[in-house]
Amino acid sequence: MGQCGITSSKTVLVFLNLIFWAAAGILCYIGAYVFITYDDYDHFFEDVYTLIPAVVIIAVGTLLFIIGLIGCCATIRESSCGLTTFAVILLLVFVTEVVVVVLGYIYRARVEDEVNQSIETVYNEYNGTNTDAPSRAIDYVQRQLHCCGIHNYSDWRKTRWFKESRNNSVPVSCCKPNVSNCTGTMSRPGDLYPEGCEALVVKKLKEIMMYVIWAALTFAAIQMLGMLCACVVLCRRGHDPAYELLVTGATYA
């Protein structure tokens, strides 16, 4: 009965190590996705610490590759030292992922304040050229999120670009894609996106942060199961004579 329980724990442990390798790739992908997406919106927030959870997620993903290798080797070789190291590293990574969740919630709550403080400045820096980074950022966001202005298209009247252009128009990035020959003129508001960008940018950034939080929570739960299985194998190895005999016989064979 004891041997059967040990074998089951070892099988689960090996399976979990394979999951860790898959998880490593997924976490690195999520971290990279957050970096790439935030790069598109970085003009709308000034706090670089917002990216800390993404950095930690990538680091954890890289570490999981190593953890999976250690866990597989330790399980196959019946190494108490290897299994102990495996369990300790899993515990450290688990704590790290809990920190990621906490930081994710903290920075998720701060996203709205960050965007509110910076978005008006970014719109005032718009000059309508592709060589200008704030202009590219605004045009990209308006096209991707289907929005126009900060709260609505009328916010463009307050910008320096609108006052200098004097043509009563907004950027063509405000135009709905199904409208042909749209010039951005305010005399035809039906051609323009009705929603402002501020709320949609905040929503998008919060969604991205939630990906990080849920990824960290999911893999933290898997690591808890990995630590439990490692502890079961270690405890049975030390207290089950049948298991010691099995390991000894396998070693001599």
Q: How far apart are CA 101 and CA 224, in angstroms?
A: 15
Q: What is the pLDDT of residue 48?
A: 61
Numbers of helices and strands, H then E, in the chain: 7, 0
More confidently predicted of 46 and 54 = 54
* Cβ atoms 230, 90 nearer than 8 A: yes
Confidence class for position 249, pLDDT limits 50, 70, 90: very low
pLDDT (average), residues 85-103: 81
pLDDT recorded at residue 46: 64
* Confidence class for position 209, pLDDT limits 50, 70, 90: confident
Please report, as a single letter, which amino acid is at residue 125. E
Cα separation of 52 and 107, whole Å? Answer: 9
* Cβ atoms < 10 Å from Cβ of 232: 17
The proportion of the chain whose per-residue pLDDT surpasses 90, expressed as a percent, equals 16
pTM of the model: 0.73
Query: Which one-letter DSSP state was computed for residue 175?
Result: B
pLDDT value of position 4: 46
Reported as a single tens digit per residue, the pLDDT across 132-173 is: 788 888 999 999 999 999 999 999 999 999 988 888 899 999
Cβ-contact 78, 230 below 8 angstroms? no
